Amino acid sequence: MSKPAETTAAAQADAAELRLVERLRGKDETAFMEIVDAWGPSMLRLARQFTPSTAVAEEVVQETWLAVLDGIDRFEGRSSVKTWVLRILVNRAKTRGARERRTVPFAALAGEESGGDFHAVAADRFLTEAAKYPRHWGSPLPRWEAQPERALESAETLALIRSAIDELPPAQRTVILLRDIEGWDGPQVSNALDITETNQRVLLHRARSKVRAALEADFASAA
């Protein structure tokens, strides 16, 4: 039923993409600065995940835009312009980060952060093996949907989430940023970061679990 609408929306998106590419090829500064302003802040944040300082991240963003301009005539439209731009950014940021830091490559970091023991929820929240219902919740969980209206929408809560993400180890932070903030899908993230899909999923799991735990602790202390 929704087919015609979807087709129309997809066709409109394609047309907008084509127009954007044409304007960039036509050296239209307004079109260029529009996407710089729209995507630049996310790009800077993303670049920062791989680089040792904001200054280096800013250089990566600038270099990326130059590479975009130099490559726009060869852009074939197999992905959206934004996906293409972000791929250039991630590749450059990774290369630059590896060079600057001379530390473990991202894949090694990702391996480290997905190894070892992990508990999404503290073990003492569950009943022991000896209980009638072993390893089931020891006490009820609050329904967050019953939280005071907009508790999850409040500026305070959103700030808390940002600081919980800041505290994550780098690979987990990068994955949750790309998945839940930038909206990439699993294969896009594992490709861009050169990690397996399983690894990507483990990092995402740990990151989301920790953010949930931070929210729970905050809601509990506020209650």
Partner 1 sequence: MTDHTVTDALPELPCQDLVEVVTDYLEGTLSDVDRRRFEEHLEVCVRCVAYVEQIRLTIGATGRAGAHPDALPAELRDGIRAAFRDWAA
Binding region for partner 1 (CB under 8 A) = 27, 29, 32-33, 36-37, 40-42, 44-45, 58, 61-62, 65-66, 69-70, 118-121, 123, 126, 133-137, 140-145, 152-153, 157-159, 161-162, 165, 176-177, 180-183, 186, 201, 204-205, 208-209, 211-212, 215-216
User: Shortest approach of partner 1 to residue 84 CB, angstroms?
Assistant: 17
Judged by DSSP in three states, 169 sits in coil
For residues 68 and 104, is the Cβ–Cβ distance under 8 A? no
Exposure of 211 in the CB half-sphere (CA atoms within 13 A)? 25
- Residue with token string 């729970």: 216
Q: Which CB atom, from 90 or from 165, has the smaller least distance to partner 1?
A: 165
Q: Which CB atom, from 77 or from 142, has the smaller least distance to partner 1?
A: 142
User: Shortest approach of partner 1 to residue 14 CB, angstroms?
Assistant: 25
Calpha distance 209→138 (Å, rounded): 18
Calpha distance 223→219 (Å, rounded): 6
E strand or H helix at 37, and its extent? helix 29-48
User: Shortest approach of partner 1 to residue 2 CB, angstroms?
Assistant: 21
User: Shortest approach of partner 1 to residue 9 CB, angstroms?
Assistant: 21
Count of beta carbons in the 10 Å neighbourhood of residue 178: 24
Q: Which CB atom, from 76 or from 145, has the smaller least distance to partner 1?
A: 145
Q: Which CB atom, from 7 or from 198, has the smaller least distance to partner 1?
A: 198
Among candidates 190, 193, 164, 156, which has minimal Cα distance to 46? Answer: 193
Question: Where are the strands (E) in the chain, listed by range?
Answer: none
DSSP state of 130: T
Q: Which CB atom, from 15 or from 125, has the smaller least distance to partner 1?
A: 125
User: Shortest approach of partner 1 to residue 7 CB, angstroms?
Assistant: 25
